[in-house]
Amino acid sequence: GVPATTAEQPSVDHRACGHGKIILLGEHAVVYGSHAVAAPVPLAVRAVAQDTKSGGVDMFIPRWGVEYRLHRDPAHRDSFQRSLGIIFDELQLTDRSMRIEVFPNVPRAMGLGGSAAMAVAVIRALDQHYKLGLSDEEINALAFRCEEVAHGSASGIDNTVATYGKPLLYKRAGKKGELPMVRELHLPKRIPLVIGISGKESLTAVTVGKVRTAWQRNPALYDGIFQQIDALTLQGVEAMQQYDLERLGDLMNICHGLLNALRVSSWEVEELVQIAREHGALGAKLTGGGGGGSIVALCPQNREKVAAAIRDAGYQAMEVDIG
Ligand code: MEV
């Protein structure tokens, strides 16, 4: 077929998709074996694969101004190519002639699972185009390999939500080769949130690396913090299932304090959290990798007010329901 060169999104939606996510409780500690709760947000990455005669794999992400020809030799790939490159190596498609176009509706490096959603979208586009018949489990496992390259010691929670698009309680596998614990959460009612986006880009690989260095210097102290996060995450699951939003809000606030103790907060994140709390959020915390990125605020009553105050301060706000 003749490759389309349009940067517009096709209007008929048969493109392959990976879901963006928020982590409600438990980020960072989840890398060390604690539980975490995550949910998809109505932001997705979509991808389409087309045959070309170009003689290589051409990747286009128009919205991010990214265009490259995938290097056949993994040793010659830069960090951006390396993560998605695994997909083509694993599926033995590196020698094909194709164009992959990616449409990210997840903002880049904002803690909303963009890299995992992108991996899942690209895998699904290839699966559809080449009729590979991959199961969700296989898609998830391959996206996890990409995530490990993208941020070192990934827990696997981002690719799992990106693949399944469901609210989940997650705990990583104890040993390599074992499967993680993934439990779908069924909530009595949807939970109203505001996502505040700081605009400060931050790579999860960097914040995960910083936490690791600090943990190595003082393992007992850090393990204690991870255990506290684990305990409050499990209490949070109960609060969600009982729709006790006051309690869930308290737990989110404490979780943020512990994430701050891990030093993955930032000036912008602290401002967003304070704005949300001052305008009536029951709980507010950073979400995802931190170091910038996004916050999530629980606002059953004052949602418009919280979102407006965040926008007035010059940040982006999105109202979402999870569950
Ligand atoms: C990133 O969304 C969540 C972290 O816990 C990293 C991970 O779990 O891989 C910070």
What is the Å distance from ligand 1's center to 199 Cα? 19
Q: What does the pLDDT look like over 25-40, one tens digit per residue? A: 999 999 999 999 999 9
**Contacts with 316 (C-beta within 8 Å, 6 or more apart), sequence order:** 107, 196, 197, 199, 310
Residue nearest to atom 8 of ligand 1 (CA): 155
Q: 68-100 burial by CB neighbour count: b if 16+ within 10 A, else e?
A: bebbeeeeebeeebbbbbbbbeebebbebebbb
Residue nearest to atom 2 of ligand 1 (CA): 288
Q: Which residue has the tokens 């995992």?
A: 116
**Rounded Cα gap, residues 228 and 54, in angstroms:** 54
The single residue of 78, 89, 95, 158 carrying the catalytic annotation is: 158
Residues touching ligand 1 (Cβ under 6 Å) are 23, 27-28, 30-31, 113, 151, 154-155, 157-158, 204, 208, 288-289
DSSP string across 101-165: EEEE-SPTTSSS-HHHHHHHHHHHHHHHHTT----HHHHHHHHHHHHHHHHSS--SHHHHHHHH-
Exposed/middle/buried for residue 128 (C-beta within 10 Å: 0-12, 13-18, 19+) = middle
What is the Å distance from ligand 1's center to 154 Cα? 6
CATH fold of the domain at 16-184: Ribosomal Protein S5; domain 2 (3.30.230)
3-state secondary structure of 44: strand
Active site includes 158?
yes
- What ligand 1 atom has the least distance to the C-alpha of 26? 5
301-309 long-range contacts, CB within 8 A, separation 24+: 303/192, 303/194, 305/279, 305/280, 306/194, 306/275, 306/276, 306/279, 306/280, 306/281, 307/194, 309/275, 309/276, 309/278, 309/279
pLDDT at 8: 42
pLDDT at 151: 78
Residue 68, beta-bridge partner list: 59
pLDDT at 1: 32
- What ligand 1 atom has the least distance to the C-alpha of 27? 5
What is the Å distance from ligand 1's center to 155 Cα? 6
147, amino acid identity: E
Spans of the chain, pLDDT less than 70:
1-15
Regarding an ipTM greater than 0.90, the answer is yes
pLDDT at 15: 64
- What ligand 1 atom has the least distance to the C-alpha of 21? 2
Kindly list the domain boundaries of the chain, sorted by start residue. 16-184, 191-322
What is the Å distance from ligand 1's center to 229 Cα? 14
CATH fold of the domain at 191-322: Alpha-Beta Plaits (3.30.70)
Residue 197, beta-bridge partner list: 294, 316
